[in-house]
Structure 1
Amino acid sequence: MANRITLITLAARDLQAQAAFYKSLGWESEFQSDDVVFYNLSGLKFGLYTAEKLAHDLNKSVDDLGTGAQTLAVNFASKAEVDTAYDAAITAGGTALKRPDDIFWGGYTGSWADPEGHVWEYAWNPFWELDENGKLKDGV
């Protein structure tokens, strides 16, 4: 099986508030119902799913979902783009965790959390090349 991810889903305790937050970042949903919101990420889908429905799907209680220790990351073509996107996330209501700065491995990263605590990292990685659509090029 090829290495791939086709869908990333986050549990949302307040789906409408989460959808409004991502909309304020400029994200456009391709589908929205009372239980789920999907965004097209050029070959990958990102979903916000009510915590109740996700817990039911996983045969768990909402309290057993937890938040885990994951980070969602977006790579940018420059440090300036990282700064601009980071500032926009904070202005939209995200919580600042780490202001973008140079990091020991040679890149530039900053972290923030959405209103429900999902952690995002915005980064510039000098070792990874992006194509004209902002996707990581294969083999780098």
Structure 2
Amino acid sequence: MDQRISLISIAVSDVAASRAFYCDGLGWSEFMYVEGDVCMIRTGEHLLLSLWDQTHFEAELGQPIRRGDGVAPLTLSHNVATREEVDAALRTARDAGADPVGDAVQREWGGYTGYFADPDGYRWEVAFVPGEIAEVVLP
């Protein structure tokens, strides 16, 4: 099996609201949109982010989604080339209606990162990461 990820699917409560947040608010472009079902966004050369209606998500997987307090045990990351780009991306997320949005901070491991939540509470990290990792994750 090749070492790669092709599609990341996240269950969302309202596909139209998620599409509005990502496409209208963040300025991303949809790859495919099926009203009430799914919005797919190309996020890399061979990678799609699928915002999938939670009832269809549960039906296909045959299991209910875990619900309760706390955040999902997952973060998605958007890496940028400078600290200024981190701050700008967090401002864009805030303007798009992200809540919460934390200010970026210098991390003990050398990076500069901040987080925001999409309409379903999925946490996105916006990060400037110097060195070897940046060479892998930045275009």
The TM tier, using the shorter chain, reads 0.7 to 0.9
Match of 2:134 in 1: 129
Structure 2: state its 5+ residue gaps. Answer: none
Cα RMSD, aligned residues only:
1.7
One-letter amino acid matched to 2:14: D
The 5-angstrom pairing of residues 48-127 of structure 1 reads 48-61=51-64, 64-66=65-67, 68-127=72-131
| Paired-residue identity, % | 33
CA deviation after TM superposition for structure 1 residue 80, in Å: 0.4
Match of 1:40 in 2: 42
**CA deviation vs aligned residue, 1:78-127 (integer Å, no higher than 9, x gap):** 00001101110011100134310100001100011011101000000012
Count the aligned residue pairs: 132
Structure 1: state its 5+ residue gaps. Answer: 136-140
Match of 1:138 in 2: none
CA deviation after TM superposition for structure 1 residue 44, in Å: 0.5
Give the TM-score, by structure 1 length: 0.87
Q: Does the CA-based 8 Å contact 1:30-1:39 persist in structure 2?
A: yes
Q: Greater RCO between the two (CA within 8 Å, min separation 6)?
A: 2
Give the TM-score, by structure 2 length: 0.87
